[in-house]
Amino acid sequence: MSMRVATFASSDRLLDAAMRVQARESEATMQQASGKQSSDYGGLGTTAGRVISLQSSVSLSKSYASAAATAGSRVEQMYDAVGSMIDLLTSIKSDTISFDEQTTGTGTLATTASGTLDQIVSLMNSKYDGRYLFAGSATDTAPVDVSDLTSQTVPTSADTSYYQGNDDVLSVKVSAEQTVSYGVTADAAPFEQAIRALSLLTGGATDSDTLSEANDLIADALDGLTTTQATLSVKASTLQAAETDQADYQTFATSVVSNLSDADVAAVASSLSTYQTQLKAAYSAIGTIRSLSLADYLK
């Protein structure tokens, strides 16, 4: 039956209201399913800019944290390598001090020193994640090569001709305001002193002057390496603190983003129930209006 003109306007208004409620119901259904206020930034209104800014800052923070973690791992490897050097030098120093040509044998100390030198060189050429640790920024170049090192006699002088790296000090940016330098190069005095002392002992001379200078060089190298290790420990702590700071910021920023963009599921569920009730009533009313006729009214 055709709708009368008198009932058309009422039906049209109800239908328009029902469509608006249906749109809100669809939005609430989406929010309930996703847990988000909107599927895009446009639905966040005036808070969209803040959400985008915070999300960008979290991504940048993750980059800073990753860089700090990688540098921290490199520093830990350096620390361990220097610690191993200290152990080796302490052992050879003890052998040198207690050396007795009559009971030990002339060649024994030279052999021990040669083996220790090989291990020290190997430690100075340590790599982490495919990059040399003690070569400055020349991380693809082994920093130490003693194959062409010139033998010296007492008194010796500093010689870093073995060093193949550069003098760049490695650093890492761990925040917008903070950059941490952490590099140690194998041409530093303690490294050079260790190599010079061991090279001297490897030559086989066991006179008092040679042993005395070797001992002095090893003692100086041990002092320097101990200081180097302490410095590396401080750098490791600094990098770890920077990584923690970034993780704390990420937690805070992510929480703010969540507060700005997440939907209140309980409130959404309540609203969704209300919208469904309203829709049911609206469509029922529309159906009733559409079915009205003058004959029904005159009965």
The closest alpha carbon to 79, from 190, 218, 233, 193, belongs to 233
What is the sign of the dihedral through the CA atoms of 279, 283, 284 and 288? positive
Provide the percentage of residues in the chain whose pLDDT is more than 90: 57
Task: Tell me whether strands 127-128 and 131-132 are parallel, antiparallel or unpaired.
Answer: antiparallel
pLDDT in tens, 70-115: 999 999 999 999 999 999 999 999 988 887 554 555 568 999 999 9
Query: By the 8 A CB rule, do 54 and 253 touch?
Result: yes
**Which segments within the chain are labelled E, that is strand?**
127-128, 131-132, 171-173, 179-181
Residues 6+ apart with CB under 8 A from 256: 54
Q: In angstroms, rounded to a whole number, what is the distance separating the alpha carbons of residues 241 and 244?
A: 5
Residues 6+ apart with CB under 8 A from 199: 117, 146, 149, 151, 152
pLDDT in tens, 246-283: 999 999 998 887 767 665 456 555 555 565 666 666 66
pLDDT in tens, 4-55: 444 555 556 655 665 665 655 556 566 555 556 555 565 556 777 787 888 8
- Among 20-24, 107-111, 122-126, 130-134, name the one with the lowest average pLDDT: 20-24
Given a cut of 90, whether residue 164 has pLDDT beyond it is: yes
Residue 34, number of CB atoms within 10 A of its CB: 12
Distance spanning both ends of the chain, measured CA to CA: 17
The closest alpha carbon to 95, from 227, 223, 214, 220, belongs to 214
| Burial class for 65, CB neighbours closer than 10 Å (0-12, 13-18, 19+) | buried
Average pLDDT, the chain: 83
The closest alpha carbon to 29, from 44, 39, 18, 19, belongs to 39
Provide the percentage of residues in the chain whose pLDDT is more than 70: 69
The answer, as to whether pTM is greater than 0.85, is no
Residue 178 is predicted with a pLDDT of 96
Listed as own residue / partner, the contacts of 293-299 with beta carbons closer than 8 Å and 24 or more positions apart are 293/1, 293/4, 294/4
Instruction: Find the radius of gyration of the CA atoms of the chain.
Output: 38
